[in-house]
Chain A
């Protein structure tokens, strides 16, 4: 750079605007002189031009040199900074930024589940897993002996063999209680180590076990393990429960813990009294579709979920959810759908007389009444429902026609898996006949030939009870009633509920007369199909689908008993009117006050004094 000393005189030309500084190309003095001496004046001009060009070239060369140097320096500086930073990062100890303000630190890796009133149904508990690093162990044989004392389910020989066969890592226990952990500490071997764990706890034990399902560990590491849902709602809403953004707010279910406990207690007693091998009950709010209670018996403890059966009928396992997974022929409970649809289409009214002359011959089929009775020749539609006449319903269904019957049952949701939030619900599709000839129309009208779960039945009854507007059942708390499509006119829905009330007042469900609450419902008794085909003579599924209170329906209750038999009378009775109905009536009697429904109070008979005082 030192060479760059611009001479103003020299550099002014060509670039500078001032012509005075320029060396003239043809200086007059020299031209004249050249002319005098006879030289060519053009050579003077050429010489001057060459000198000027040289100066210009020199100048631009220096300028380029300068630019190159500057660029080189800039690159050098940039690379020095980057290199220095990398060196610093490589040489320094890694450290977390300590001054960063923590927001809400993650509490738990899985959100709690509560009932509709905020009572805890599932929460997390911190515990520890025990693992061993046999290479660090002082005395593996002694450790094996002492561990076998602390954990009776571990075998000393197995443990000793695995601790001494040269492996470097071994899980011993997935969950430890604090007492066990203290005892393991007291062994004092450096090869025994603890890994923190979060485990899922269901404080209510067996209550609502089928709804919740269960959880277990997914990928396990020394420092933590992920908790994943294995069944029920825990599996269906696994993504929501594991979402870190929502881990702090518990998931509120529509289940009411108190009602659930009461229903479970009553149903368990009823199941034992009726000698049934299983039972299910669903209670649903007809306006919002919320499931207030869902019970299936026998149940299990989700804290210690049993393994599924590897052979035999899965329905024999306590894990089997009869309310949602069990698809049954629900029997006469379907009759109200035929009657409601016929009224909706304007074909009949509650008092229209229909043919009920039994037995009815249809092709090669013979449709009979229960125990070969005959309610005919003519019966009003209300009485068809109240007396549960198969023949009467069949005639109503034939009036409606197969196509529209199929469409109506489909709109009630009988053709699709139930939409509630459980994995089991999605995998149990109702069994629907592939073709729909008239004989299917007839049998479907009284609930034979197509199978659905009690959950389907509950939501279909909720549609009737909700003034004919379809409701989507849900296990999650809803704040407002969702919009539904109207399937029945309001008068038709009201007339249908009145018919169901008739079943209780003077029909097959007379045991459902509960003091204070008007129940309306329909019984259903279906023979159990054999796995080999055909039906059992003495095994039935009894169902009572009911609505209460009848004057302004708020809740639907479906009670199903599997293979019940009432042995209190002289001969065993297997119809729903003797088994499922009294159980359902007791459920309503016990739960309706808990649901905040005031009973109609029958005043005690007035004696002379109160009669006078009340007249005043």
Chain B
């Protein structure tokens, strides 16, 4: 009986020692991971701020204006001006299909002028 108690006690001591050893190393590993992650976050933040600065630099109004001038052929961009505003009544809506009897290619009529048919 006493031998059994001794055996159990010893094995408990060994087990807890093993557990403490593993916990110790696991903690140290976790600490290392955290500090690695922190420095990675700091690096990424720095990269982010550089990219934000670069984005702002590349999008500065002077450069955009120059680029739109250079690429005018392809883009046709002009500064916003009051003449570019309009009223919805000025829009030429597509004409509704009128259910008219088919005409056999006799008349050729264009209705380009008005743009709007009630």
Q: From residue A474, how far is it (CB to closest CB) to chain B in Å? A: 23
Given the complex, which residues of A lie within 8 Å of B49, measured CB to CB?
107-108, 123-126
Q: Contacts A203-B60, A207-B61, A590-B81: A613 and B118 contacting too (C-beta < 8 A)?
A: yes
| Complex Cα gap A442–B82 (Å) | 41
Q: Which chain B residues (47-104) contact chain A, with CB distance < 8 Å?
A: 49-50, 52-53, 55-57, 59-62, 65, 79-87, 89-90
Q: Which chain B residues (3-59) contact chain A, with CB distance < 8 Å?
A: 27, 31, 34-35, 38, 41-42, 45-46, 49-50, 52-53, 55-57, 59
Q: Contacts A98-B34, A258-B61, A613-B114: A593 and B85 contacting too (C-beta < 8 A)?
A: yes
A607 an interface residue at 8 Å Cβ cutoff? yes
Whether the pair B85, A601 counts as a contact (CB closer than 8 A) is: yes
A-B contact count (CB 8 A): 94
Please, how many residues of chain A have a CB less than 8 angstroms from a CB on the other chain? 42
Q: Contacts A203-B57, A603-B87: A593 and B52 contacting too (C-beta < 8 A)?
A: no
Q: Contacts A98-B34, A105-B42, A610-B115: A120 and B61 contacting too (C-beta < 8 A)?
A: no
A40 an interface residue at 8 Å Cβ cutoff? no
Whether the pair A204, B56 counts as a contact (CB closer than 8 A) is: yes
Given the complex, which residues of B lie within 8 Å of A105, measured CB to CB?
38, 41-42
| Complex Cα gap A599–B83 (Å) | 8
Q: From residue A120, how far is it (CB to closest CB) to chain B in Å? A: 4
Whether the pair B38, A614 counts as a contact (CB closer than 8 A) is: no
Q: Which chain A residues (601-616) contact chain B, with CB distance < 8 Å?
A: 601, 603, 607, 609-610, 612-614, 616
Whether the pair B53, A203 counts as a contact (CB closer than 8 A) is: yes
In the complex, per-residue mask of A343-379: 1 if CB is within 8 Å of any chain B CB, else 0: 0000000000000000000000000000000000000
A486 an interface residue at 8 Å Cβ cutoff? no
Whether the pair B85, A123 counts as a contact (CB closer than 8 A) is: no
| Complex Cα gap A203–B59 (Å) | 9
Given the complex, which residues of B lie within 8 Å of A98, measured CB to CB?
31, 34-35
Given the complex, which residues of A lie within 8 Å of B118, measured CB to CB?
613, 616
| Complex Cα gap A286–B118 (Å) | 43
B117 an interface residue at 8 Å Cβ cutoff? yes
Whether the pair A610, B86 counts as a contact (CB closer than 8 A) is: no
Given the complex, which residues of A lie within 8 Å of B117, measured CB to CB?
613
Q: From residue B24, how far is it (CB to closest CB) to chain A in Å? A: 13
Whether the pair A123, B35 counts as a contact (CB closer than 8 A) is: no
A386 an interface residue at 8 Å Cβ cutoff? no
Q: Which applies to chain A's interface (DSSP): helix, strand, loop or mixed? A: mixed
Whether the pair A205, B60 counts as a contact (CB closer than 8 A) is: yes
Residue of A nearest to B86 (CB): A601
B113 an interface residue at 8 Å Cβ cutoff? yes
Whether the pair B85, A590 counts as a contact (CB closer than 8 A) is: no
Given the complex, which residues of B lie within 8 Å of A262, measured CB to CB?
79
Q: Which of A270-278, A292-300, A512-520, A560-568 contacts B (4 or more CB under 8 A)?
A: A512-520
Whether the pair B53, A125 counts as a contact (CB closer than 8 A) is: yes
| Complex Cα gap A105–B52 (Å) | 19
| Complex Cα gap A126–B50 (Å) | 8
A185 an interface residue at 8 Å Cβ cutoff? no
Residue of B nearest to A610 (CB): B114
Whether the pair A609, B113 counts as a contact (CB closer than 8 A) is: yes
A257 an interface residue at 8 Å Cβ cutoff? yes
Q: Contacts A125-B50, A126-B46: A119 and B56 contacting too (C-beta < 8 A)?
A: yes
A172 an interface residue at 8 Å Cβ cutoff? no
Residue of A nearest to B62 (CB): A205
A431 an interface residue at 8 Å Cβ cutoff? no
Given the complex, which residues of B lie within 8 Å of A265, measured CB to CB?
65
Residue of A nearest to B38 (CB): A102
A381 an interface residue at 8 Å Cβ cutoff? no
| Complex Cα gap A126–B115 (Å) | 59
| Complex Cα gap A125–B49 (Å) | 7
| Complex Cα gap A272–B53 (Å) | 32
| Complex Cα gap A159–B9 (Å) | 75
A145 an interface residue at 8 Å Cβ cutoff? no
In the complex, per-residue mask of A20-60: 1 if CB is within 8 Å of any chain B CB, else 0: 00000000000000000000000000000000000000000
| Complex Cα gap A120–B118 (Å) | 50
Q: Which chain A residues (173-204) contact chain B, with CB distance < 8 Å?
A: 201, 203-204
Given the complex, which residues of A lie within 8 Å of B82, measured CB to CB?
514-517, 589, 592-593, 599
Residue of A nearest to B85 (CB): A599
Whether the pair A607, B113 counts as a contact (CB closer than 8 A) is: yes
Offer 27 A-B interface pairs, CB within 8 angstroms, sorted by A: A98-B35, A102-B38, A105-B41, A107-B45, A107-B49, A120-B53, A124-B49, A126-B46, A201-B53, A201-B57, A203-B57, A203-B60, A207-B62, A258-B61, A261-B61, A262-B79, A515-B83, A516-B83, A516-B85, A589-B81, A593-B81, A599-B82, A601-B87, A603-B87, A610-B114, A610-B115, A613-B116
Sample of 9 more A-B contacts, CB < 8 Å, known A590-B79, A594-B80, A612-B114: A98-B34, A102-B38, A125-B49, A204-B60, A204-B61, A207-B61, A601-B86, A601-B87, A616-B118
Seen from chain B, the residues whose Cβ lies within 8 Å of a Cβ on chain A are 27, 31, 34-35, 38, 41-42, 45-46, 49-50, 52-53, 55-57, 59-62, 65, 79-87, 89-90, 113-118
